[in-house]
Amino acid sequence: METPDDLYYTKEHCWVKEEGDQVRWGITDFAQSELGDVIFVEFPAVGEKVNRGERIGDVESIKTVSNLYAPLTGTVIAVNTALNKSPEFINQSPYGDGWICLMQPDSSEDIGGLLDVAQYIELIQAGQ
Amino acid sequence: MKSLPLAHLHQSRGARMGVFADWQVPIFFSRIRDEYFACRETFGLFDVSHLGKLFLRGQDSRALLKLTACRALDGISPGRGRYMFFLNHRGGIVDGVMVFPKNEGFWILTNAGAKERVFQWLHTQAGQKKMVVDVEDRTDRLFLFSLQGPASSRAISEFFCRPLSDLLRFSMSEAAHGGSEFLISRMSYSREDGFEIMGDRDCAGSLWENWLDFTHRNDGTVCGFGVRDLLRFEAAYPLYGQEMEETVNPLELGRENLIDWGKGEFIGRQALLMEQKQGSKKKLVGFEIDGKRIPRYGFPIQNRQGTPCGHITSGNYSFSLRKNLAMGFLSRPNWDIGQELLISVPRTKVLARIVPLPFTKDRVW
């Protein structure tokens, strides 16, 4: 199970990466392995204002459908439209080609409220 | 919660475990997609020990099956088996089972979630008719493995070093391996060739390990219940608790071919005759779905005028047909092939067209 130590995480199993004053995020390796084969992603709209913890989309797999929750409060800058054609990128490369969304957070300080890798690993282990 | 006898082995091999019919089972070992194509192109190996394994014997056992099953066992040669429904007095399905005559008795393989009900049903009916039978639940003493796929005949023949490719479909035979005896049957829930191996639970671990080695050396794949459900869904085989329930009868499932009207009286016959005369009020149909949302169990269906007219029983994505498909019950008169309907999925509705079942046809084997 891959959990890179240069990322932030949410309790809803999203990873968040700082890229200048923007953040890129997707679902974690743990989340994709729980979901199984992903076949569809419903994205938030580009330009949409979203609030931390708000449901802003879905990831549908063969097994189940899982909600996507905004990891931070801010504005959606871009979504990974490559997933429309190749949703399996989420399974194959959850931290790379399988990214989901690029956001402009309202406050750069909010990211400090997310989990670090140790806290996230602890969260996963507590749930198993 | 019940556990497969080899659950610890499956977990140690990296299986993602989940719950099915109150059993803790492997959902997938690698990827459902990979397991699916193994079953379509070579073969997949499954542990299906959760299935109910009853043995019926006693002087009235044949008479009890004649009373409780809507399909006849008469006239089938030794070693052959049949899929059949046990019905309640309203014609509703107690379970769909495989029955194999064997050594003065009958093996009855049931759905996992229906085993207790079948067991009680047979006991109750035998008691009411004062029949001399013994129904033994051997589920916990036995394991059951399954192979599905076009190469399964070659695989099982090589593994047991005997030509099992000549075993007829819906037949049972015996084979030995490592000093132990096993029962081999040839069925399919995938519309591919398929075999089952049943034996004493004490032999399960070593046989499974041997099968795993053989599978990996022969381009097969160990598979979980995710792909099992997808294969049976594409083949439109009903699953207990989804398509099959005690409130659903074989006519509503479109399985009149599994009713032997001429076999004499059986439980549920009068109710089925009445339904046949009046016409069914609901029917199981298949859907092709527009878009990428998968309708799942219980999702409501409405016609283009917005009137509720049914519900989904199963939905999935077909890797080979490359589309989302579903099955569900529709009320009369909404079930013409080609008719368009709307299915509610979370936060939206999707367009669906009624298509013939099954979604996949039998392969030649």
pLDDT tens digits for A14-73?
Answer: 999 999 999 999 999 999 998 999 999 999 999 999 999 999 999 999 988 899 999 999
Report how far residue B171's alpha carbon sits from residue B80's, in angstroms, rounded to the nearest whole number.
4
Those residues of chain B that have pLDDT short of 70 are: 362-365
CA distance A107 to chain B (A): 30
What gap in Å lies between CA A121 and CA B286, rounded to an integer? 43
- Cβ atoms of B27 and B7 within 8 Å: the answer is no
Would you call B294 and A39 a contact, using CB atoms and an 8 Å cutoff? yes
pLDDT reading at A10 higher than 70: yes
Dist. CA A117–CA A5, nearest whole Å:
5
Judge contact between B43 and B148, C-beta under 8 A: yes
**pLDDT at residue A64, rounded to an integer:** 87
Say whether pLDDT at A128 is over 70.
no
Q: What value does the mean pLDDT of chain A take?
A: 94
Q: Which long-range contacts (CB under 8 A, 24 or more apart) does A2-8 make?
A: A2/A29, A2/A94, A2/A95, A3/A28, A3/A29, A3/A30, A3/A117, A3/A120, A3/A121, A3/A124, A4/A95, A4/A117, A5/A116, A5/A117, A7/A95, A7/A117, A8/A71, A8/A111, A8/A114, A8/A115, A8/A116
Q: What are phi and psi of B153, to 5 degrees?
A: -65, -45
| Minimal-distance CA residue of chain A relative to B297 | A64
Q: Within a 10 A sphere around the Cβ of B279, how many other Cβ atoms?
A: 10
Distance to chain A for B11, nearest Cα, Å? 13
Question: How far, CA to CA in Å, does B26 sit from each of B7, B29, B227?
Answer: 8, 7, 11
Residue A94: both structure tokens together: 């959850």
The number of C-beta contacts closer than 8 angstroms across A and B is: 37
Among the listed residues B321, B25, B20, B235, the one whose alpha carbon sits nearest the alpha carbon of residue A39: B321
Q: Is A55 on the interface with B (CB under 8 A)?
A: no
Q: What is the C-alpha R_g of chain A?
A: 13
Instruction: Dump pLDDT digits (tens) for A76-91.
Output: 999 999 999 999 999 9
CB contact set of A19 (below 8 Å; sequence gap of 6+):
A102
Chain position carrying tokens 């504005």: A75
Torsion of CA B131, B133, B139, B144, to 10 degrees: -110
Nearest CA-CA partner of A24 in A96, A90, A82: A96
DSSP state for residue B263 in the 8-state scheme:
G
Residues counted in chain B: 365
d(CA B185, CA B169): 8
Distance of alpha carbon B142 from alpha carbon B289, whole angstroms: 41
> Any residues with CB less than 8 A from the CB of B294 and at least 6 apart, and which?
A39, A40, A60, A62, A65, B315, B316, B317, B324, B326, B345
What gap in Å lies between CA B4 and CA B25, rounded to an integer?
Answer: 7
pLDDT of residue B78: 78
Instruction: Please tell me the predicted confidence (pLDDT) of residue A1.
Output: 85
Residue B103: what pLDDT?
81
| Chain B interface test: which of A1, A54, A62, A88 (most B C-beta within 10 Å) | A62
Q: Is A91 on the interface with B (CB under 8 A)?
A: yes
Q: Which residues of A touch B33 (CB under 8 A)?
A: 37, 88
Asked if B33's CB is within 8 angstroms of A88's CB, the reply is yes
Q: What are phi and psi of B311, to 5 degrees?
A: -150, 155
Q: How far is B27 from chain A (nearest CA, A)?
A: 9
Across B219-236, b (16+ Cβ under 10 Å) vs e yields ebbbbbbbbbbbbbbbbb
Secondary structure (H, E, C), B295-318:
CCCCCEEEECCCCEEEEEEEEEEE
First to last CA, chain B: 38
Least Cα separation, residue A54 to chain B (angstroms): 15
Tell me which chain B residues have a C-beta less than 8 angstroms from the C-beta of A88.
Answer: 33
Question: Cα-flanking dihedrals φ and ψ of residue A107, to 5°?
Answer: -135, 130
Peptide bond into B333 cis (omega under 30): yes
The 8-class DSSP code of residue B363 comes to: P
Only one residue has tokens 């002087």, namely B59
